[in-house]
Structure 1
Amino acid sequence: MTQWRKKTADEIYPQDEIEARLKEELPAWYFEDGWIRRKYKTSGWKGTLMVVNTVGHLAEAAWHHPDLTVSYAFVIVKLVNHAAKGITDKDFELARKIEETVMWRPQASAGSALEGTPDDPRFKYIKYD
């Protein structure tokens, strides 16, 4: 894994570094029109609301707020540092926290006492990659 030089809070990354970091650290995210983005596919409205609320909590706790596109079966998260007018460490850090929280699955954790959602479409709320 590449060690990226930590930048100041509002120092922006050039496009080539953004794309390289996403490929290495957040492969489901992509860079488009000045934003880093991720589309989370859900199983319907309930799952969409769960993702939106999770992202909302993390964004408010971090005091760094994404733009969201919300539909019946997906949520698109878009991050940019508006004050810096580009992608900064704030965007990468929040994207990483969103990714690890939304995509977390208890049954994937070795030795977890948590079962996770049953392998049944009635209970699935997110479509895992």
Structure 2
Amino acid sequence: MTVDPKKTFTDKEVEERLAAALPHWKLQDGWIRRTYRTSSWKGTLMVINAVGHLAEAAWHHPDITASYAWVEVRLMSHDAKGITERDFQLAKKIEEVVGWQPGTEEGSALEGTPRGDLRFAYIKYD
């Protein structure tokens, strides 16, 4: 099945898809949005760089607003003037990468940053 990259979704369709697959994202002012809370400027920069890499690789670019301890990612397909499949797919990939928590998977050799030591904390997981 071929996906039409410029087909836009109604607000109701967007809200239903977000509720089902991306519950931390919301529709507001024509954008799907997600705010990631971080522990410091270092964490903020790490989130921005991860999102930037994914967006550039996908050739679909979000608007990003950032402060010391948060990053807001906004997605909307400018050329289609609305929310498209591209927005949902990039949001899902961003969520997978930024929300990944090493050390939570059974049998994983990747332990993740030390828990409880704020020197190593960078993102506040939902």
Q: Which TM class, normalised by the smaller chain length?
A: over 0.9
Which one of 106, 113, 125 corresponds to residue 110 of structure 1? 106
Aligned to 1:126: 123
Aligned to 2:82: 86
Q: What do the CA deviations read for 1:30-74 (whole angstroms, capped 9, x no partner)?
A: 000000000000001000000000000000000000000011100
Aligned to 2:32: 36
Gaps of 5+ in 1: none
TM-score by length of 2: 0.96
How many residue pairs match? The answer is 125
Distance 1:20 1:108 in 2: 29
Does residue 73 (structure 1) correspond to residue 73 (structure 2)? The answer is no
After the TM superposition, which parts of structure 1 deviate over 3 Å for at least 4 consecutive aligned residues?
none
Does residue 22 (structure 1) correspond to residue 18 (structure 2)? The answer is yes
Distance 1:36 1:111 in 2: 35
RMSD: 1.2
Aligned to 1:98: 94
Distance 1:102 1:60 in 2: 15
Distance 1:26 1:108 in 2: 20
Percent identity of equivalent pairs: 62
The DSSP-based 3-state class of the residue aligned with 2:103 is: helix
Give 1:11 shift. 0.2
